[in-house]
Amino acid sequence: MRILLAEDDLILADALCRALVQSAYAVDIADNGEQADRSLALGIYDLAILDIGLPGIDGLEVLRRLRARKSAVPVLMLTAFDTLADRVRGLDLGADDYLSKPFDLPELEARVRALLRRGSPHPAPSLQHGGLRLDTVDRRVYHDNQPIELSAREFAVLELLMMREGRVVSKEHMVNHLYGWGDEVGPNAIEVYVHRIRKKLEPLGCEIRTVRGMGYLMERKGGKP
């Protein structure tokens, strides 16, 4: 899952980025409104966190342009002061949630998880695939309630596949949703992660299929339609 964080307070941005990366999200930081607007226009983000007070065009204008492009990406607004006018305007322009500064990191992380769940076809705190359960809150994976050790990136790859259970996920989609601008992406990066996950999951009877020329697939399991 890839997040755009538009925040010009670079100390705050850096702290938020670190916390989110630790939870296996890919994060790009924009420190001004134009950059945030250009980045969001790429259409690769699963969530945007927009500070209202940005240099150049402000966070509200970035949001207005985003919704004018008919993008449904969930948006969490950050406000410097909890002013009613800003909140109302943000919600009217299509923000999904807001948080006023100063806030505690766990609260921001909880709101991020809630918004990402809302945007997913499985609005539950965990994703299930046979005996496999991916907990989106504690960011861990279990098989028959036994924890499976995965790196942050392996977790993120598996999350994308389980969110789209029954559908093919292309490598391009994975690269777009797993890496930020500063990340080095080797040509076989995705294959390597899928290979590592398979080594851990195949003994448990969980299969990731390769669909040649298209991507990867986890078949639907259980009594779901």
Residues that bind Ca ion (CB under 5 A): 8, 51, 53
Output 78 or 150, the one with its CB closest to Ca ion: 78
Shortest approach of Ca ion to residue 63 CB, angstroms?
14
Q: Which residue is nearest to Ca ion (CB)?
A: 53
Output 15 or 185, the one with its CB closest to Ca ion: 15
Output 53 or 180, the one with its CB closest to Ca ion: 53
Q: Rounded distance, CA 19 to CA 27, Å?
A: 10
Shortest approach of Ca ion to residue 146 CB, angstroms?
44
CA-closest candidate to residue 25, choices 92, 115, 96, 86? 115
Q: Among the residues of the chain, which ranges form H helices?
A: 10-22, 33-41, 59-68, 84-92, 105-119, 152-163, 171-178, 189-201
How many Cβ atoms sit within 10 Å of the Cβ of residue 91?
13
Output 98 or 216, the one with its CB closest to Ca ion: 98
Shortest approach of Ca ion to residue 79 CB, angstroms?
10
DSSP 204: G
Shortest approach of Ca ion to residue 110 CB, angstroms?
22
